[in-house]
A and B are shown apart, each in its own frame.
Chain A
Amino acid sequence: MAADNINPENGEINLLDAKFAACPQPVYAELLEHYRIATTAVLGAPILSRYEDVIWALRHPEIFSSAMDVHLALGSERPMIPLQVDPPTQTRYRKILDQRFSHKRSLELEPAVRRHANQLIDAIIDRGECEFGAAFAIPLPCLTFLSLMGLPHADLDLFTELKDGIIRPPVPGSDLVGAFEHRAATGKRIHAYFETVIDERLAAPQDDIISYLTTAVIDGDQLTRNEVLDICFLFLLAGLDTVTATLGCIVAYLATNPPQRRRFGQEPELVPQAIEELLRWETPVTTVTRVVKQDVMIGSVEIKAGTMVNLLLGAADVDKAEFPDADRVDFERQQNRHVAFGGGPHRCLGSHLARMELRAALEEWHRRIPEYTLKPGETPRFSPSIREVRYLPLVW
């Protein structure tokens, strides 16, 4: 199964293959066994897979830098903050952002998430079936984001369109110029939207993130308007698809594994730990990229300064050297240091918010729809890179 994704001659692998996205774990196992450094089929960029290599790279931003010129390709005129900025500048941003995205602050949004989840379930429960993405996994994180940012829920469709305009532009996959242009145009619309909101908040501050950013002080300095914009841009891109993808991956797994699914409904105290295990197993954000700042040895191979490197978080999370019985999904796993949220100074800013959202959403879903399966005869479809389940038909 794995072999047809990896070229045995040179360890090349196409990370953007939809088959790989649907079932990456056997490919990871093969990479871990045979290729300490594989390469991507398209650009020939090195791929690190071992847990020890990935976590080491994540913890050494002075070697593995996040400051790359990829923001232009994502429709942003400047690097996104704090994702594409290195310490010590990044550390300054995180000081104020971590406070707003702490475990405690995230819990304040939990009642709103449960309310949104129930509204979405109300709309479908009597139908006995749904496409999980459209009905639940896409709108829920979007509604949470709007609540967090203090924006009107009427903007739900607009936000879905804007983030899709960047992440999956509505042009054929081969039309790279068209995709670039669509992203740039969408980026301008996103900036224009937030420019207006920033003006409104400056005139009349509210208890929301954008007001917080317009007044926040780091080491005596206020954020500039562009800094606030670059943070908002990242929130829109990073905060919606990732939770959508994770909800989809987890529910797709549970829909096809009934004994595990029943435990979700019947043993609520187990849910947080089960979510951690499914984050490990599914690792929806499969890869993060870094650029090497200085020549560095990985095992016996030298990676030259200036090289773009892929850190395959998904492979690290099924590495037997770190996880005994790595290919078994074990809700009772006692040691689980997975890197589904990355690690080192760039540890996912939204991880506490995401964990709360996942727990609240999955608890409400399984309380109200405990018995469900994949619609007979149908197959879920996954998109690569961030493993979003683009088509997940369920019946109950």
Chain B
Amino acid sequence: MMKVRVDPAKCQGHGRCFALAPEIFQGDDRSHCLIPNENVPRHLEAKARLGKVNCPEGAIRVEVT
């Protein structure tokens, strides 16, 4: 099971995550990262990782349990 989380203290609103993987990430009214559902369905795991590795602030974490 994959979970994806954002550290709001690190996020600076670059918006790379929701541009690349809108199925998982959204932008709030300041373009900071929102994750409506932290449980990632299997078919979107690659998308979650894509968002993580493109965050310039290293604000996104992906955990597999």
Chain A positions within 8 Å of B, measured between CB atoms, are: 55, 59, 94-95, 98-99, 102-104, 272, 334-339, 341, 343-345, 347, 351-352
Quick check: B53 and A347 within 8 Å, CB to CB? no
Known: A272-B19, A347-B13. A99 touches B30 (CB 8 A): yes
Assess whether A343 is in contact with B56, with CB atoms less than 8 Å apart.
Answer: yes
Can you list 19 A-B contacts (CB < 8 A)?
A98-B13, A98-B31, A102-B27, A102-B29, A104-B29, A272-B19, A334-B50, A337-B16, A337-B53, A337-B56, A341-B14, A343-B56, A343-B57, A344-B57, A347-B14, A347-B56, A351-B14, A351-B15, A352-B31
Smallest Cβ distance from B3 to chain A, in angstroms?
21
A236 to B45, CA, bound (A): 42
| In the complex, B12 has a CB within 8 A of chain A | yes
B22 to chain A, nearest CB (A): 11
Among B29, B31, B50, max chain A CB count under 10 A is at B31
Interface residues on B, range: 10 to 19
Asked whether A352 lies within 8 Å of B56 as measured between CB atoms, the reply is no
Write out the residue numbers on chain A whose beta carbons fall within 8 Å of the beta carbon of B57. 59, 343-344
Contacting pair B54 A344 (CB below 8 A) = no
Q: When A and B form their complex, what is the total count of cross-chain residue pairs whose Cβ atoms lie within 8 Å?
A: 52
Q: Are B55 and A337 in contact (CB-based, < 8 A)? A: yes
Q: Complex formed: what's the CA distance from A347 to B32 in Å?
A: 12
Instruction: Please name all residues of chain A whose beta carbon is closer than 8 Å to the beta carbon of B14 when the two chains form the complex.
Output: 341, 343, 347, 351
* A96 CB → nearest B CB, Å: 9
**Residues in A whose Cβ lies below 8 Å from that of B53:** 334-335, 337
- Which single residue of chain A is at the shortest CB-CB distance from B53? A335
Interface bits B2-41 vs A (CB < 8 Å: 1, else 0):
0000000000111110110000000101111000000000
CA distance A220 to B59 in the complex (A): 30
- Which 10 pairs between the two chains have the least Cβ-Cβ distance? A98-B30, A337-B56, A347-B12, A335-B53, A102-B31, A103-B31, A103-B27, A343-B56, A103-B15, A99-B29
Complex Cα–Cα for A95 and B30 (A): 7
Q: Which residue of A lies closest to B32 (CB)?
A: A98
Q: A95-B30, A339-B56, A343-B57 are in contact. Are A352 and B15 (CB under 8 A)?
A: yes
Q: Which residues of B contact A59 (CB under 8 A)?
A: 57
Q: Is the CB of B30 within 8 A of A102?
A: yes
- Binary per-residue interface labels of chain B (45-62) against chain A in the complex, 1 for a CB within 8 Å, 0 otherwise: 000001001111100000
Considering the complex, give the chain B residue whose CB is closest to the CB of A349.
B13
